[in-house]
């Protein structure tokens, strides 16, 4: 009798503990249906940290949909470009908040060679392949797993990219885990493995406006970017192969400068890029690679990465045609991107850090977006 009683007590406590745990997970990560795409369910995941701040993610393109953080007076606003509904997300700008792969940025003429075999990828940006092709990883439905053993709200998205998808060899197993810490950091942990030699360059393409998405442009955002050199581009945005020192040019952000201060200078690369749209070669000497400070709200974004490059893009192609969250218009230069990763067109530049991933190897990389406020 006593044994039965003890056993039932143990059973009851196990049930109570597991119920508590699932309530805890539920509080930190809420999963709602956002829509369906190609027969697969698309979710909107709401992650709330202990500071009470919220980010939203979707498994469509493994995108960041919403980042709501306070300004210096405690007023919260969403500071990333995105859409309220799945229909708008599907029809709208492809890259807002997306995980971009299998090869982020451009591949010249949609062509590269691996072990003597020439591969062709679709041309979706003039003569080049951009962001893994039109049906790249930004456009697919990823599998969703709410990470249960995490101290912070955390969601893992996984995707199996078939052999020869968008022309790339090898079946790649990709994952991105987003963790929203209590310190208002979005930690993005990426992994990729392949069954055949391939190339991978994975990034996140969130657009930021620290005034709040849709509230004016980003020209007053003050940027510090720890990079001594960048890779100049040609007229179709392909690196020429030159490694140019930033010292004495409008590309030098080693000390803080507002984006708008020199963006219209008569400088060849600003003309070719229609503003800043270039890969910086990170010095990787300090913990924080990029700091962005917006003086009106006091909001600050820091970017930390283990990657060799950072595409600094000032929303030069935004033109007011996109209507985002809350009906707000996303005008010219109303968002900026900091895309950590490898240099554009690396497969065609033997002297750039390699983007080759071999069978049996695991690509692991981490980038962090950290949000805070500064009061002066
Ligand atoms: C960026 C790229 C820009 C533009 C943008 C998408 O990563 O550097 O040139 O293509 O994506 O609109």
pLDDT tens digits for 173-188? 999 999 999 999 999 9
Task: Determine whether the shortest distance from the Cβ of 317 to ligand 1 is under 6 A.
Answer: yes
Backbone dihedral angles phi then psi of residue 108, each to the nearest 5 degrees? -60, 130
Cβ atoms 306, 336 nearer than 8 A: no
Task: Determine whether the shortest distance from the Cβ of 319 to ligand 1 is under 6 A.
Answer: no
User: What is the arithmetic mean of pLDDT over 3-11?
Assistant: 51
- The reply to whether 120 falls in a domain is yes
Residue 140 has pLDDT above 90, yes or no: yes
* Active site (annotated) includes residue 339: yes
Ligand 1 binding pocket mutation candidate from 239, 276, 277 (most atoms within 8 A of CB): 277
- The reply to whether 14 falls in a domain is no
User: What is the arithmetic mean of pLDDT over 214-219?
Assistant: 98
Task: Tell me the residue range of the domain where 152 lies.
Answer: 32-373
Residue 155 has pLDDT above 60, yes or no: yes
C-alpha of residue 195 to centroid of ligand 1, in Å: 29
Q: What percent of the chain has pLDDT over 90?
A: 92
pLDDT of amino acid 27: 73
Cβ atoms 337, 196 nearer than 8 A: no
Residue 26 has pLDDT above 70, yes or no: no
Cβ atoms 318, 302 nearer than 8 A: no
Which ligand 1 atom is nearest residue 205's CA?
A: 7
- The reply to whether 321 falls in a domain is yes
Residue 11 has pLDDT above 70, yes or no: no
Which ligand 1 atom is nearest residue 95's CA?
A: 6
The encoded tokens of residue 164 equal 């020869």
* Rounded CA separation 172/168 (Å): 10
Catalytic residue among 205, 257, 325, 342: 205
C-alpha of residue 313 to centroid of ligand 1, in Å: 7
More confident: 206 or 8: 206
Which ligand 1 atom is nearest residue 339's CA?
A: 7
Which ligand 1 atom is nearest residue 104's CA?
A: 7
- The reply to whether 24 falls in a domain is no
Long-range CB contacts for residues 247-251, cutoff 8 Å, separation at least 24:
251/276, 251/278, 251/280
Task: Determine whether the shortest distance from the Cβ of 95 to ligand 1 is under 6 A.
Answer: yes
- The reply to whether 327 falls in a domain is yes
Task: Determine whether the shortest distance from the Cβ of 339 to ligand 1 is under 6 A.
Answer: yes
pLDDT of amino acid 238: 98
For the chain, the domain total comes to: 1
Residue 198 has pLDDT above 70, yes or no: yes
* Active site (annotated) includes residue 361: no
- The reply to whether 351 falls in a domain is yes
pLDDT of amino acid 153: 98
The predicted-structure confidence for 315-342, as pLDDT tens digits, reads as follows 999 999 999 999 999 999 999 999 999 9
Residue nearest (by alpha carbon) to ligand 1 atom 10:
130
C-alpha of residue 111 to centroid of ligand 1, in Å: 19
The predicted-structure confidence for 263-285, as pLDDT tens digits, reads as follows 999 999 999 999 999 999 999 99
Adjacent-strand bridge partners of 36: 41
CATH code: domain of residue 193: 2.70.98.10
Residue nearest (by alpha carbon) to ligand 1 atom 12:
317
Distances (CA, A) of 343 to 8, 202, 282, 311, 336: 61, 11, 11, 8, 18
C-alpha of residue 130 to centroid of ligand 1, in Å: 8
- The reply to whether 274 falls in a domain is yes
The predicted-structure confidence for 97-111, as pLDDT tens digits, reads as follows 999 999 999 999 999
Peptide bond into 102 cis (omega under 30): yes
The predicted-structure confidence for 42-89, as pLDDT tens digits, reads as follows 999 999 999 999 999 999 999 999 999 999 999 999 999 999 999 999
- The reply to whether 1 falls in a domain is no
Catalytic residue among 68, 165, 166, 339: 339
What number of CA atoms fall less than 13 Å from residue 109's CA on the CB side?
7
Task: Determine whether the shortest distance from the Cβ of 332 to ligand 1 is under 6 A.
Answer: no
Residue 96: partners with Cβ closer than 8 Å, 6 or more residues away: 63, 80, 81, 82, 83, 89, 205, 206, 207, 324
C-alpha of residue 315 to centroid of ligand 1, in Å: 8
The residue with tokens 């039109």 is 134
């Amino acid at each position: 009798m006593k044994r039965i009683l003890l056993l039932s007590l143990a059973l009851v406590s196990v049930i109570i503990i597991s119920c508590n745990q699932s309530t805890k997970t539920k509080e930190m990560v809420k999963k709602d249906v956002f829509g369906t795409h190609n027969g697969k369910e698309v979710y909107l995941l709401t992650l709330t940290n202990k500071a009470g701040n919220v980010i939203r993610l979707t498994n469509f393109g493994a995108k960041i949909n919403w980042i709501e953080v306070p300004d210096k007076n405690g007023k919260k606003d969403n500071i990333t470009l995105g859409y309220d509904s799945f229909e708008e997300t599907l029809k709208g700008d492809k890259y807002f908040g997306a995980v971009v792969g299998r090869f982020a940025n451009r591949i010249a003429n949609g062509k590269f060679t691996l072990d003597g075999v020439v591969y062709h990828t679709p041309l979706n940006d003039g003569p080049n392949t951009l962001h893994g092709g039109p049906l790249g990883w930004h456009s697919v439905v990823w599998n969703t797993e709410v990470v249960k053993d995490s101290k912070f709200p955390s969601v893992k998205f996984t995707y199996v990219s078939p052999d020869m998808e968008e022309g790339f060899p090898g079946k790649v197993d990709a994952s991105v885990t987003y963790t929203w810490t209590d310190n208002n950091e979005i930690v993005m942990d990426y992994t990729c493995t392949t069954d055949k030699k391939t190339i991978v360059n994975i990034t996140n393409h969130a657009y930021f406006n620290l005034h709040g998405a849709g509230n004016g442009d980003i020209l007053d955002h003050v940027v510090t970017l720890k990079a001594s050199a960048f890779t100049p581009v040609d007229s179709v945005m392909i690196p020429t192969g030159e490694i140019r020192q930033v010292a004495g040019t409008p590309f030098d952000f080693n000390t803080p400068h507002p984006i708008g201060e020199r963006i219209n200078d008569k400088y060849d690369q600003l003309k070719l890029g229609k503003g800043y749209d270039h890969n910086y070669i990170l010095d990787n000497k300090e913990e924080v690679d990029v700091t962005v400070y917006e003086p009106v709200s006091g909001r600050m974004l820091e970017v930390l990465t283990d990657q060799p490059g950072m595409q600094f893009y000032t929303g030069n192609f935004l033109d007011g045609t996109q209507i985002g969250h809350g009906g707000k218009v996303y005008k010219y230069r109303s968002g900026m991107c900091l895309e950590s990763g490898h240099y554009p067109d690396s497969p065609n530049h033997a002297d750039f850090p390699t983007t080759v991933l071999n069978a049996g190897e695991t690509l692991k990389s981490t980038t962090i977006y950290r949000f805070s406020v500064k009061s002066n």
